[in-house]
Amino acid sequence: MRLLMLTITSAFILTACQQTVFVSSSGDDGRNRVVDIVNRTNAPIQQFYASKSGQRSKGQDLLMGSAIGPDGYRTLNFNDGSRTCIFDFIAEFPNGTELRRDGINVCEEVAWTVF
C-alpha cells in the first residue's frame, strides 16, 4: 500500500511539473531579456519605466520605490511573455528631470547606462 501511494504521488508530482514547464515556456522564446540599469550620475534614479516601444503609457515604476543610487545598478528582467524585444526606457530623477531612450533591444543589450 505504501509503495502504491509513493508511486501515485510521484506520478502526480511529475505530471504537475511537466504542466508547469509547458505553461511557463509557452510564451517564452528562450531569448534573454535581462538588462542592468546602471546609474553613473550624481543623483539617484527615483523611478524607472519601460514600455513596449511605441506605447503612449510609460507604465508602472519598475523600481517600486527603491531608487538606484549614484554608481549603483539594478538588474531587471523584461520577459513579460509577449516575446517583445524592443522597449522604451525612462529614468526619472528627484528634481523631475527625465532621461528617455526609445527602441532599446532588451534581447541584445545587457546594460543601459545613464550618464
In what side-by-side order are the strands of the sheet with 34-39? 73-77, 34-39, 111-114
pLDDT in tens, 60-72: 899 999 999 999 9
Looking at the structure, tell me whether residues 74 and 104 fall in a common domain.
Answer: yes
Q: Is the pLDDT of residue 11 over 50?
A: no
Residue ranges making up the domain that contains 40: 34-114
Distance CA 14, CA 46 (A): 44
DSSP 69: -
Number of domains in the chain: 2
My answer on whether 26 and 39 are in the same domain is no
What cell numbers appear for 6 in the block? 509513493
Residue 25 region by backbone torsions, left for phi larger than 0, else alpha for psi between -120 and 50, else beta: alpha
Instruction: Say yes or no: 108 and 79 in one domain.
Output: yes
The predicted structure's pLDDT at residue 56: 87
One domain for residues 26 and 41? no
User: pTM to 2 decimals?
Assistant: 0.74
Please indicate, yes or no, whether residues 52 and 97 belong to a single structural domain of this protein: yes
Of the two residues 22 and 68, the one the predictor is more confident about is: 68
Whether residue 99 is found in the same domain as residue 52:
yes
The answer to whether residues 18 and 50 belong to one domain is no
Is 48 found in the same domain as 92? yes
Higher pLDDT, 3 or 110: 110
